[in-house]
Amino acid sequence: MGSRVSREDFEWVYTDQPHADRRREILAKYPEIKSLMKPDPNLIWIIIMMVLTQLAAFYIVKDLDWKWVIFGAYAFGSCINHSMTLAIHEIAHNAAFGNCKAMWNRWFGMFANLPIGIPYSISFKRYHMDHHRYLGADGVDVDIPTDFEGWFFCTAFRKFIWVILQPLFYAFRPLFINPKPITYLEVINTVAQVTFDILIYYFLGIKSLVYMLAASLLGLGLHPISGHFIAEHYMFLKGHETYSYYGPLNLLTFNVGYHNEHHDFPNIPGKSLPLVRKIAAEYYDNLPHYNSWIKVLYDFVMDDTISPYSRMKRHQKGEMVLE
């Protein structure tokens, strides 16, 4: 548990990300994929039901013993809240109402944000678009760990702690890598979220509030679904920047596991990404992929060649247009 990771820097590359070229090639061969570039109206009702489910859970836990509050937060609430963050990921791509109603997506993202307890849907949208346009770009893509993370979390035990603390690193990393001025929508998102949290505490009590926040922190930390954080872009095989996951947890995560497909076609909702893979099978079936996020987490911690440094990084060429 104490041996140090051999890697001491990121994998610097001098090529462009592969997704734009593959997208052009696939569309030239399979233009019917363009028909999948439309919003998913079912997403709206699924998210509404998820919010109502968590509201019911807030009511149920208010009179439980603390041990059951925490157990429920990890066993049930964490799945809902982590899934909700991936619903917000879908909304960030305007998958709920489409590009022509972009603001409807922003307001709906704030609504989906409520049971998570921490305001982030608007900020996530801004930074996530940079992640797609400038994948791996130094000083731009905040999905890339900081140098401190790569340097410090260099043993199995420290990597285990890093996995547990993932939500904190994702929350604060943008402030160090690519800080942006606060927008009025972020202020509204924060005011709405704090108001909701206060109302939960006032009407249901401290246990419901703790359940909500614990569900988010535990669900985004050491949790099977959190394997996607590492599976998506950490370089387990040299030369491969993005990896898909084709296991059963896609059912809870809006198919975020279809990550090569998603980066190739970010304007296609998650529900249609399996169709992309089916249509253009020769482009995806031979790419390295995963079937278990739990195994990804285990391998990340125990493999002394893998660390937060195991990411491809590049100096962005040309002018950038940031959110």
Q: Where are the domains of the chain?
A: 11-313
Question: Measured between alpha carbons, how far is 253 from 273 in angstroms, rounded to an integer?
Answer: 12
pLDDT band at 287 (very low <50, low <70, confident <90, very high): very high
Question: What are the backbone angles phi and psi of residue 155, rounded to the nearest 5°?
Answer: -125, 165
| Token pair listed for 10 | 């990121």
Asked if residues 316 and 134 have their Cβ atoms less than 8 Å apart, the reply is: yes
Evaluate if residue 96 carries a pLDDT over 90.
yes
Span 37-89, pLDDT tens digits: 999 999 999 999 999 999 999 999 999 999 999 999 999 999 999 999 999 99
- CB neighbourhood size of 163 (10 A): 20
Question: Measured between alpha carbons, how far is 162 from 223 in angstroms, rounded to an integer?
Answer: 13
Reference 245, options 218, 217, 226, 266; nearest CA is 226
| Token pair listed for 194 | 């704090």
pLDDT score recorded for residue 321: 62
Q: Please give the average per-residue pLDDT across 305-312, as a whole number.
A: 97
Question: What one-letter code names the amino acid at 9?
Answer: D
Report the predicted TM-score, pTM, of the whole model to 2 decimal places: 0.95
pLDDT score recorded for residue 317: 75
Asked if residues 70 and 214 have their Cβ atoms less than 8 Å apart, the reply is: yes
Question: Which of the 8 DSSP states describes residue 246?
Answer: -
Span 268-285, pLDDT tens digits: 999 999 999 999 999 999
Evaluate if residue 95 carries a pLDDT over 60.
yes
Question: Measured between alpha carbons, how far is 70 from 2 in angstroms, rounded to an integer?
Answer: 31
| Token pair listed for 63 | 């009179």
Span 204-252, pLDDT tens digits: 999 999 999 999 999 999 999 999 999 999 999 999 999 999 999 999 9
pLDDT score recorded for residue 318: 65
Evaluate if residue 172 carries a pLDDT over 60.
yes
Percent of the chain with pLDDT over 70: 98
pLDDT band at 1 (very low <50, low <70, confident <90, very high): low
Percent of the chain with pLDDT over 90: 95
Within the chain, what is the greatest distance between any pair of CA atoms?
59
pLDDT score recorded for residue 320: 62
SS3 state of residue 12: strand
pLDDT score recorded for residue 148: 97
Question: Measured between alpha carbons, how far is 141 from 158 in angstroms, rounded to an integer?
Answer: 23
Residue of higher predicted confidence among 73 and 322: 73
Evaluate if residue 258 carries a pLDDT over 70.
yes
Evaluate if residue 202 carries a pLDDT over 80.
yes
Span 126-138, pLDDT tens digits: 999 999 999 999 9
pLDDT, averaged across the chain: 96
Question: Measured between alpha carbons, how far is 179 from 194 in angstroms, rounded to an integer?
Answer: 22
Question: Measured between alpha carbons, how far is 46 from 68 in angstroms, rounded to an integer?
Answer: 27
Question: What are the backbone angles phi and psi of residue 314, rounded to the nearest 5°?
Answer: -145, 155
Q: Please give the average per-residue pLDDT across 134-150, as a whole number.
A: 97
Evaluate if residue 105 carries a pLDDT over 90.
yes
Residue identified by tokens 């279809």 is: 258
The angle, 0 to 180 degrees and rounded to 10, between the axes of the packed helices 184-204 and 102-113 is 30
The alpha helices in the chain, defined as continuous H runs, are 19-29, 42-61, 66-72, 78-92, 102-113, 121-133, 147-152, 156-164, 166-177, 184-204, 206-219, 227-231, 259-264, 273-279, 281-284, 293-302
pLDDT score recorded for residue 36: 98
255 by Cβ neighbours in 10 Å (0-12 / 13-18 / 19+) ranks as buried
Evaluate if residue 263 carries a pLDDT over 80.
yes
| Token pair listed for 240 | 């491969």
Q: How many CA atoms lie within 13 A of 132 on its CB side?
A: 19
Asked if residues 4 and 306 have their Cβ atoms less than 8 Å apart, the reply is: no
Question: Measured between alpha carbons, how far is 293 from 238 in angstroms, rounded to an integer?
Answer: 19
pLDDT score recorded for residue 242: 98
The residue count of the chain comes to 323
Span 50-60, pLDDT tens digits: 999 999 999 99
pLDDT score recorded for residue 316: 81
